[in-house]
Chains A and B, each alone.
Chain A
C-alpha cells in the first residue's frame, strides 16, 4: 500500500466530516429547545434514562456519565441512567421478550411520567430505540431522539412520531453520525445547565 495513498485517504476522511459538522450549527436551535425542555424536567425532579441501539450503547453510557459526573467542576450532578450497560438485563430481555423490547421493558418498569427518555440510533432502523421512545411517550416522559439520516418517510418526524425532539444527522456513515452525536449531547448537557442557572451563567 503506497504511503501517499494512505495519507490522502486520511485527508479525505477528515474532509468528509466538514459538512456534517457545519450542520450542527444549523441544528443549534433544535438542540437549544430540547435542552430547555430537559432542564424543565430536571428542575421538576425528573431523571434521564438513555439508551442506544447497537454501538450507540456507548453513547448512552457517555450521556449518563456526562450528567452524573460533569467534567466541569462545580456543575451539579443530575440523575441519569444508561439502559444498555447491564449485559445480564439486556440479554435476559432479549432472550425473553425479544431484542426489540430491551429498552421499552426497562422504561416501563424503571421510569416515570416526570422523566426524560433519550434514544440514540445511528440510522433510522433501531427498532428497540423506537419502541422505547413510543413506550416513554405513552407514559408521559419527555422524549428526545438522536438519529442518523431518516429515509422512507415524508418527514423525519413521521419516522419517529413519539419523539418530542428529534435531531437527525444527515449522513449514512454510522461513524460520522456518532461523531456529530457526541457534539450534540455535549451541547445538550451544557445547555441544560445554562437553563438550570437561568441567568445564562455557565456559558463558557
Chain B
C-alpha cells in the first residue's frame, strides 16, 4: 500500500497549531491582505506532506534495505574492477543524475573515496545535437554506446518509470554488459518490465503517486547506495594504499 498524496485534514492532531504558530492566525506581516485561514491551511498542508515523506522513507526502508545492500555490493565490486558510473534522467531527475555523479566523483573532503562518475545530462551540446539530429529517445543510449564498456554501471532515474530515453539507455547498457540500476516511482512503469526481463539488474520503486515525494525518497535511496558502496570499498581502498 503506497503513501498517497492525501488532502489536508482538520483533526485533533492540528488542534495545537494555533498555539504553536499564533502568527499564522494573524494578518501576515506587510499586510498582503491574505486571509489568515489561507496561511493556516497552507502550513497545515506542509506539515502533512512532511509527515508523508517521513512515512514513505520508512516504508521504502522496509521494502528495499536488503536489495539496496545487494546492489551496493555489486556496484562496489564493479568499481573495484575499474568500472565507471553513468547516470541519467529527465527534468528534476536530471538534477538527481547530476547529484549522483557528483556524490560519487567528488565527495566532501575526507568523506569518501572519489569514484569515476559522469552524468549524461550535463553536456548541452551533446544532448541537443542528439535530440535535434536523431531523437530525444536516444540522448542517453547513444552516449552509453560511445562511452560505456562491459563492467561499467548505468544508473537511471524516472519518477514514472516510463521515460523512453531512460528505457532505451538501459537496453543499450544491458547489451554492453553493464550493471544496470533503476530508480522509479508509482508502479515502476516500463522499468518494471525491464526488471522482469533481466534488462535491469536492480530496480527500486518508490510506492507513491506524488512526483515530489517520489523524488525526495529517491534522493535518500541513492545517498544510502553511495554510503554502502563507500563502506564496501573500504577494505579494497586500504589494500590499495598498502600496495
Contacts and interface: CB of A to CB of B under 8 A. Distances in A.
A33 B28 CA distance: 8
B98 A61 contact: yes
Nearest to B236: A1
Given A1-B235, A14-B220, A198-B34, 5 more contacts: A7-B69, A32-B39, A182-B216, A186-B215, A203-B42
B50 A22 contact: yes
A179 B220 contact: yes
A198 B65 contact: no
A160 B54 CA distance: 28
Given A1-B73, A179-B223, A6 B42 contact: no
B219 A179 contact: yes
Contacts of A9: 69, 227-228, 231
Given A10-B228, A203-B7, A36 B103 contact: no
B108 interface: yes
Interface string B209-243: 00110011001100110111001100100000000
Contacts of B235: 1
Interface of A: 1, 3, 6-7, 9-11, 13-15, 17-18, 21-22, 24-25, 28-29, 31-33, 35-37, 40, 55, 57-59, 61-62, 65-66, 69, 71, 174-176, 178-179, 182-183, 186-187, 190-191, 194-195, 198-200, 203-204
Contacts of A14: 57-58, 60-61, 65, 220, 224
A49 B228 CA distance: 35
17 contacts: A1-B73, A9-B227, A10-B69, A10-B72, A18-B54, A28-B21, A28-B44, A32-B43, A33-B29, A58-B99, A61-B95, A71-B91, A186-B212, A187-B49, A191-B42, A194-B42, A200-B42
Interface in B90-126: 91-92, 94-96, 98-99, 102-103, 106, 108, 111
Contact of B32 (A36, A61, A183): A36
Nearest to B233: A1
Interface range on chain B (Cβ under 8 Å from partner): 35 or more
B38 interface: yes
A183 B220 CA distance: 11
**The 4 nearest A-B residue pairs measured at CB:** A14-B61, A6-B69, A24-B50, A28-B46
A31 B38 CA distance: 14
A61 B215 CA distance: 14
Contacts of B231: 1, 6, 9
Contacts of A7: 65-66, 69
A103 B187 CA distance: 40
A6 B227 CA distance: 10
Nearest to A62: B95
Contacts of A21: 50, 53-54, 57
Contact of A186 (B34, B94, B216): B216
Contacts of B174: none
A142 to B, nearest CB: 11
Contacts of B111: 174
B46 A182 contact: no
A189 B164 CA distance: 27
B196 interface: no
A18 B61 CA distance: 11
A17 B38 contact: no
A71 B102 CA distance: 25
Interface in B44-88: 44-47, 49-51, 53-54, 57-58, 60-61, 65-66, 68-70, 72-73, 76
A24 to B, nearest CB: 4
